[in-house]
Amino acid sequence: MINYELYKVFYWAAKTGSLSKAAKLLFITQPSVSHAIKQLEDSMGITLFYRNSKGVALTQEGATLYSYIEKSQILISLAEEKMAALKNLDSGELRIGGSDSLFKHYMLPYLETYHRKYPGIKLHLNHGTTPETIAILKEGKIDLGVVRLPIVDPQLEVMEGIQLQDCFVAGAKYAELKDKVLSLELLLQYPIILFSRNSRVRMAITELFESYGYQIKPEIEVGSVDLLIELARKGLGISYVTKEFISKELEDGSLFEIQLDIKMPPSQVGFMMMRNLPLSNAASKFIELLK
């Protein structure tokens, strides 16, 4: 294998037609340029240059070599420029996986700040459940995932985010429940609206009810927070939602919280990354915004 530096010296000597100019551009001495070219010629067994009145010119063999080296040098220069742009966050991409609700109600301010700060970075948001987000993270399709905790996986590193409080809410149709404190048994006598079965929120509420000896069987299952909110507002049942995501509805009175005789535990949001794999510069800067 021939040292890349020899090709670099050859390229600039050929491009400038002068050993002294090549030496100046490369910040080395002219004898060093001559020595490098001789090493290259000796290793190939051919003559690459001949001297003329202006300096040096390529032989036929040298011109053939130059046609290849010029292309590689251009690609290397482009690669160096690209790496500098990625380092300075002038270009690149940030790929995040998570649920629609977490993107809309939690991540949006961070995404807006990040986009204003680094407009050259393309944002790719992959929507899915927690299991789906874990799967695409392990496949390398995203840089990080935002999910509900707990997540126990030796392949993943998890950074905790904010705490959220989930609750049951209803609309005007169930106004008679507004000032009452319900037991779980009484709550289950009403139609319940829940997230789909493979969501982390659904798993958590199912486990909670089972810990008290009850099975929660929803009348309606949906895949988005917006539907949970709207169906409760329309009186189709009592929805289980994240309190922080319905502050507007609670304030204007279109929804009210169902009071229970047990304390509902908070849930934790977290950010997942692959353990022992370095984050891209774009992803690292986003993590800094979250801390």
pLDDT band (50, 70, 90) for residue 54: confident
Domain with CATH 1.10.10.10 in the chain: 4-87
Q: What is the pTM of this model?
A: 0.69
CATH architecture of 166-265: 3-Layer(aba) Sandwich (3.40)
pLDDT single digits (tens) 250-262: 999 999 999 999 9
What b/e string do you get for 48-82 counting C-beta neighbours within 10 Å, with b at 16 or more? bbeeeeeebebeeebeebbeebeeebeeeeeeeee
Q: Which of 142, 106, 109 lies closest to 126, judged by CA?
A: 142
Give the residue-averaged pLDDT of 138-164.
93
Q: Which amino acid is at 15?
A: K
Q: Which two tokens stand for residue 238?
A: 């009592």
3-class SS of residue 216: coil
pLDDT of residue 207 exceeding 80, the answer is yes
The β-bridge relationship of strands 238-242 and 166-170 is antiparallel
Q: Which class would CATH give 93-162+269-290?
A: alpha beta
CATH of span 4-87:
1.10.10.10
CA distance 151 to 53: 73
Neighbours of 173 (CB within 10 A): 14
pLDDT of residue 1: 56
Q: Could you give the CA distance from residue 46 to residue 33 in angstroms, rounded to a whole number?
A: 17
pLDDT at 82 over 80: no
pLDDT in tens, 29-47: 999 999 999 999 999 999 9
d(CA 88, CA 142): 21
Stretch(es) of the chain classified as CATH 3.40.190.10: 93-162+269-290, 166-265
Burial group, residue 253, by CB count within 10 angstroms (0-12, 13-18, 19+): exposed
